[in-house]
Amino acid sequence: MMRRAMSLAVLLILFALPLLAMAQAQEPPEFDNTEQEQRYKELTTELRCVVCQNQNLADSDAQLAQDLRKEILGMLKDGQSDDQITGFLVDRYGDFVLYRPAIGGNTLALWLIPGVLLGGGAIAVFVTVRNRNRRLAEQQQKGSS
């Protein structure tokens, strides 16, 4: 009985070991206030990691993402605005870091194409439905006369 309890305890401790790695991997940043924490969270989820390009800065464990998070925290504590902070990254890595890039010459197509496609689709559906209704109405008229 005693031995079973012992081995159970050992097993439990072993299962808990990965938690140590987690605790080491991510030091939680220290914020001055909750507003700063909120802005930090928003900025890091809005900014893309340049190393693992399908992740945002908040989720990425890449070394550079950690460094950039540290930079962002430092800039927040310096009292810089959100625009200044995203500008810092755009100046160095380009529009790519933004999930929602500013509307400008080279991103205009990116912003317009979805709307154009949606509008075109809506018009196509409208025209098709109207023509079919007309045809049906004509057929009905022929049928009744």
Partner 1 sequence: MIGRLLPVIIFLGLGILLAAGLKIADHKTELPSPLIGKQMPEFALPILGREETIVTNEDLVGEPFLLNAWASWCPTCRVEHPVITDLARSGKIRVVGLNYKDEKADAQAWLARFGDPYDLTITDISGRTAIDFGVYAAPESFLIDSNGTIVFKQIGMMTPEVIETEILPRLEQWSKSP
Residues that bind partner 1 (CB under 8 A): 50-51, 53, 63-64, 67-68, 71, 90-94, 96
| Smallest separation (angstroms) from partner 1 to the CB of 72 | 11
3-class secondary-structure state, position 78? coil
- CB proximity list for 26: less than 8 A, separation 6 or greater: 61
Residue nearer to partner 1 on the CB measure, 50 or 85 = 50
Residue nearer to partner 1 on the CB measure, 40 or 49 = 49
H or E element that contains 135: helix 108-144
| Smallest separation (angstroms) from partner 1 to the CB of 16 | 31
| Smallest separation (angstroms) from partner 1 to the CB of 71 | 7
Residue nearer to partner 1 on the CB measure, 11 or 123 = 123
Q: Which residues of 88-121 are buried (b: 16+ CB within 10 A; e: fewer)?
A: bbbeebeeebbeeeeeeeeeeeeeeeeeeeeeee
Residue nearer to partner 1 on the CB measure, 6 or 99 = 99
Query: DSSP assignment, residue 96?
Result: G
| Smallest separation (angstroms) from partner 1 to the CB of 138 | 18
| Smallest separation (angstroms) from partner 1 to the CB of 4 | 46
Residue nearer to partner 1 on the CB measure, 63 or 145 = 63
3-class secondary-structure state, position 71? helix
The HSE-up count of residue 119 (CA atoms within 13 Å, CB side) is: 5
